[in-house]
């Protein structure tokens, strides 16, 4: 096929405009390619980075000294009423139990959970509530929730953590706020673990 406009007999300014168009296309192809490459790089980086983090936020803790010093020593675990009336539950997960095994919280007011694991990846969900997190060694998982009704909930581990996984669970006792506050007066850390 021959065209009257394109070919060796075309006018010189048509060659020039074709060259300009080709150069512009190449430039755009490079820019778009760079944008796609940077978006892919961000997706790969954030995917790999956040796959190794707890879903709440990134707060680290030294797994090797967890039981010896700091926030997660044994006598600091359980429910505490902190300055300003904030209710905080601290717990540790290990193969194959939670410490404490029974957690007591007030009904109808915000409760902040702070937890971590001393060995494998664990997690928990509290009954039919929205309290749900992973517990990852080296990281502190935090969330705040409110339990509207009094009653007892089961708290199973929901991350497969080994052969004893299916037997790993704790209980959460939600009690009326007045009763909770009365009990909190007499103790530094509350739990409902039978003595
Ligand atoms: Cu577990």
DSSP state string for 33-96:
HHHHHHHHHHHHHHHHHHHTS-SS---B--GGGTTTSSTTSGGG-EEEE-GGG-EEEEEEEETT
Evaluate whether residue 192 is within a structural domain.
Answer: no
Question: For position 113, what pLDDT does the model report?
Answer: 95
Q: Which domain holds residue 37?
A: 9-52
**Do 67 and 47 have their domain in common?**
no
**Nearby residues for ligand 1 (ion, Cβ within 5 Å):** 122, 157, 161, 168
What's the CATH number where 116 sits?
2.60.40.420
Evaluate whether residue 89 is within a structural domain.
Answer: yes
What stretches of 118-150 adopt beta strand conformation (E)? 122-125, 132-135, 141-146
Q: Tokens in use for 146?
A: 């409110």
Evaluate whether residue 101 is within a structural domain.
Answer: yes
Question: For position 54, what pLDDT does the model report?
Answer: 58
* 3-state SS, residue 156: strand
**Do 170 and 83 have their domain in common?**
yes
Evaluate whether residue 1 is within a structural domain.
Answer: no
Angular region, 183: left φ>0, alpha ψ -120 to 50, beta rest: alpha
Is 0.85 topped by the overall pTM?
Answer: no
Could you report the per-residue pLDDT of 76-126, keeping only the tens digit for each? 999 999 988 899 999 999 999 999 999 999 999 999 999 999 999 999 999
User: Alpha-carbon dihedral of residues 181, 185, 188, 191, nearest 10 degrees?
Assistant: -40
**Do 78 and 139 have their domain in common?**
yes
Distance of CA 160 from the midpoint of ligand 1 (Å) = 6
Which segments of the chain have a pLDDT < 50?
Answer: 1-3
Number of domains within the chain:
2
Distance of CA 154 from the midpoint of ligand 1 (Å) = 14
Distance of CA 16 from the midpoint of ligand 1 (Å) = 70
């Amino acid at each position: 096929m021959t065209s009257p406009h394109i070919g060796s007999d075309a006018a010189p300014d048509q060659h020039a405009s074709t060259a300009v168009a080709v150069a512009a296309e190449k430039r755009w192809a490079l820019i778009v390619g760079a944008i796609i490459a940077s978006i892919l790089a961000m997706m790969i980086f954030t995917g790999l980075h956040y796959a190794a983090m707890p879903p709440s936020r990134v707060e680290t803790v030294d797994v090797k000294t967890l039981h010896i010093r700091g926030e997660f020593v044994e006598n600091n675990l359980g429910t505490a009423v902190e300055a300003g009336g904030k209710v905080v539950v601290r717990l540790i997960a290990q193969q194959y139990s939670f410490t404490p095994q029974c957690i007591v919280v007030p009904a109808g007011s915000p409760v902040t959970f702070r937890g971590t694991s001393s060995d494998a990846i664990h997690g928990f969900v509290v009954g039919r509530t929205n309290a749900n997190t992973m517990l990852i060694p080296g990281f502190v998982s935090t969330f705040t929730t409110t339990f509207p009704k009094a009653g007892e909930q089961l708290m199973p581990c929901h991350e497969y953590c080994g052969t004893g996984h299916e037997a790993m669970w704790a209980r959460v006792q939600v009690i009326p706020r007045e009763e909770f506050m009365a009990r909190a007066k007499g103790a530094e850390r509350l739990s409902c673990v039978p003595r």
